[in-house]
Structure formats: structure tokens, C-alpha cells
Amino acid sequence: MNDTVSSETRFLHAVEFGLGAWQWGDRLIWQFGQNYGDEDCRAAFEVSLEAGIRFVDTAEVYGNGRSERMLGQFLKETDQAVLVATKYFPYPWRFTKKALIRAIKGSLERIGIEAVDLYQIHQPYSLLPLDSLMEALAEAAKEGLTRTVGVSNYNQTQMMRAYSALARNNVPLASNQVTYSLLNRSIEYEGLLARCKELGVRVIAYSPIEKGLLTGKYSPENPPPGVRGRRYGDLLPKIDPLLKLMTEIGQEHGGKSKAQVALNWCICKETLPIPGAKNAVQAEENAGALGWKLTEEEVEKLDEASDAILK
């Protein structure tokens, strides 16, 4: 483990896998309430816990607070200790440091706990200058409202500025949550992943199965519904060779599915994937990414097949 990892943030490096909770209550992108609902989300949570997953990522904006409230309810129903990560959205009208403290208190109230394990700035654009934003974030940690702090969607320059600003307040940057999958490797190509490893900043990989594309269930003839279908119109016709390779590699490991290969690849790249699941079946399949490992050669082959699509 990297020597620069401070004792406060070390636990995050021991977390191998998590569960994303954007799906819990979101109607716009995920159509919550149409083909799945509260009970399905509860089952996804329970199945994940049974599989040993102990890290849930939510945000105040997911379902307008509904995801946090659902998590709070699910936590009450279990005696397992679960690590909770949530996020602050830097809306333009939030231009004071107090706004962040008010926001985290709101999240804690919805989740029904006294402190979260990780509090992240959802995206880098804020009317509050970065130094002040990081001071407020550090303050949240010092007040004991969060155990560690992180950022999300920060590029290398933005992250380095956040890292330094937090260091001036004696609080380490624990993580950067960014999009990362076999179909989106910008953080690798742009050097952000390497920089995070060097600094001991945990990379939390969101959309690790590229919003369902890496399960192989979507195609140009059968695109994902709504916004996703439009977004992936250009990519979908190109991904067959990669999916074929993922099937072959999965077979070498006793019939692992494409989703499981995609998630195991994220783990092999030393990131913490947080796939979202709409129900127990999806959560159970995703948890099957744990307990085995792709070989170095397989990771290289997957890299080449994804480079051929992305570069």
C-alpha cells in the first residue's frame, strides 16, 4: 500500500467493491417506479450485504433525497455495519461555506446516522472558490460529520488543487469518484489513475459496467431506454469484439458473466467499482465479480480490445 495513504483514509483502500444507489428513487435516467421499485432496491441491498459488500454510495441529489432516505431505512433493518458515502452538490446558490455544513447535516438526517464515512463534492464547478469549498469540507471532517472527504469528477489539475487545499487544512483527500469502465478509460489515458495511485487517493469507479452496456444485453437494434439510448448510439455498434472476448474470458473462469468480467477488470486496475443494481438478480450477478481474479494476460487482452474501440 502507498506510504502516503494516511491512517484516516486507509480503510477505503481495503474496500474492494461497493453498491451504487443512484437507482434508488431516480425516475429520470433509471425509470424508478416503472420496472422496479422500493422492494427491488431493498432486495438489491440485502443481497449485496449477504455477498459481503459493505460500502454504499449515494448522493443528496439521487431521487431528490429519496436514495438517502431509502438507505437510512435499509440500514435500520440490518445489524451489519455498512460504510456510507454520500455527496454534496455545489449548486450555484450554494456560495457560502455554511451551505456545505447545512447540506451534510441534511444528508445525515435523511440517512439517520451521526456521521458518514465519506463525504464527496459531486462535481468541480462551484461559485464558492475552491479554497473555501475545501475549507468547508475539512470543517465537516473536523466537526465529526464525516470520517473522510473526497471529490468526484475532478480532473488531474482540479484534484491536485483540492488535494493541496485540504492538506493546508490538515485533512487528507481520500478519494476521487470518476467514470471508469472498459468503455471509458479517460482517467487511464489522461494519467489521473496513475496520479491517484501515486498520492494514495482511492479511485472510486462509477458506471463500471457502462450503464448496462457491458452486460451485453443492449445492441444497436435494442438500445437502452431513454437518455442512455441516445448517448450510446455511436458506441453500441462498435462493442461486439470486446463483448465476445469478455464471454471467452468469463468461460475460462467457470462461466463468469460479462458484467462480472467488467467489474473484476476494474478491481484489477486497483479501483473500487460501485455498480448500480435495480434488483436482487442484478446485485447478485454483480457481486459474483468478487472472489476470483483475471490474469495479467487477460487484463492486457481486455485493454487491447477496449483500446481498439476507444482510441
Ligand X SMILES: NC(=O)c1ccc[n+]([C@@H]2O[C@H](COP(=O)([O-])OP(=O)(O)OC[C@H]3O[C@@H](n4cnc5c(N)ncnc54)[C@H](OP(=O)(O)O)[C@@H]3O)[C@@H](O)[C@H]2O)c1
Stretch that binds ligand X, among 72-80, 157-165, 192-200, 201-209 (CB under 6 A): 201-209
The only residue of 17, 30, 45, 180 in contact with ligand X, by rule CB under 6 A: 30
**Smallest separation, CB 24 to ligand X (Å):** 8
Nearer to ligand X, 143 or 267 (CB): 267
The only residue of 40, 57, 68, 298 in contact with ligand X, by rule CB under 6 A: 57
The only residue of 60, 135, 285, 298 in contact with ligand X, by rule CB under 6 A: 285
Answer whether 283's CB lies under 8 Å from 47's CB.
yes
What is the number of alpha carbons within 13 Å of residue 30 lying toward its C-beta?
Answer: 22
Q: Exposed/middle/buried for 151, CB within 10 Å: 0-12, 13-18, 19+? A: buried
Within positions 73 to 112, which residues make up the interface with ligand X, using CB under 6 A?
none
**Smallest separation, CB 85 to ligand X (Å):** 8
Query: Where does 36-149 have alpha helices with state H?
Result: 38-50, 66-76, 97-111, 130-142
Nearer to ligand X, 170 or 291 (CB): 291
* Per-residue mark of binding to ligand X, 112-131 (x: CB under 6 A): ----------x---------
**Smallest separation, CB 181 to ligand X (Å):** 6
The type of residue at 113 is I
What is the number of alpha carbons within 13 Å of residue 22 lying toward its C-beta?
Answer: 13
Answer whether 73's CB lies under 8 Å from 111's CB.
no
91 catalytically annotated: no
Q: Which three cell numbers mark 248?
A: 471467452
Q: Which three cell numbers mark 1?
A: 500500500
**Smallest separation, CB 279 to ligand X (Å):** 8
Q: Which three cell numbers mark 178?
A: 470518476
* Per-residue mark of binding to ligand X, 165-184 (x: CB under 6 A): ------------x-------
Q: Is 153 in the site for ligand X (CB under 6 A)?
A: yes
Its sign, for the CA torsion 219, 222, 228, 229, is positive
Q: Is 20 in the site for ligand X (CB under 6 A)?
A: yes
| Alpha carbons 244 and 5: distance in angstroms, whole number | 38
Q: Which residues bind ligand X (CB under 6 A)?
A: 20-23, 30, 57, 122, 152-153, 177, 206-212, 215, 217, 224, 259, 274-278, 282, 285-286
